[in-house]
Amino acid sequence: MVLIVAEPSVSGISDMERIIRTAEIFHTPLCVCVNKADINLEMTEQIERFCEEKQIPFVGTIPYDPLAVTAINDGITIVEIDCPSGRAVRQIYAETLRLLHAGVRGIKE
């Protein structure tokens, strides 16, 4: 399974679409989340709509979080501290594992 971590920007959407096309070639199941989702809510919603139209599981959003920068600078991961981005990543991880164990198939045309 491929977990695409998209960014809500023109280049982020372009990168996401390119990875999706590659996954289609290999019939690889995938899901999508958005990192720094709150920096451009309009583009985040565009990504969510795209996933819905393509029937690609959308597993969540990760907010921009200054505590994430602090954690990284301190040499720890965001899941090791109680912060909004860490909680979001844990939820996305759980949902991705659930989909993987449920046997989610490749992209539907």
CATH of the domain at 10: 3.40.50.300
Q: What is the pTM of this model?
A: 0.90
C-alpha span between 81 and 97 (Å, rounded): 21
Pure H helices in 1-109: 10-25, 41-54, 66-73, 84-102
Residue 108 lies in a domain: no
Residue 18 lies in a domain: yes
Structural domains in the chain (count): 1
CA distances from residue 40 to 37, 43, 80, 89 in whole angstroms, order as listed? 6, 6, 27, 19
Per-position pLDDT tens, the chain of length 109: 999 999 999 999 999 999 999 999 999 999 999 999 999 999 999 999 999 999 999 999 999 999 999 999 999 999 999 999 999 999 999 999 999 998 876 555 4
Residue 107 lies in a domain: no
Q: What is the largest CA-CA distance in the chain?
A: 44
Residue 46 lies in a domain: yes
Domain span at residue 31 reads 2-102
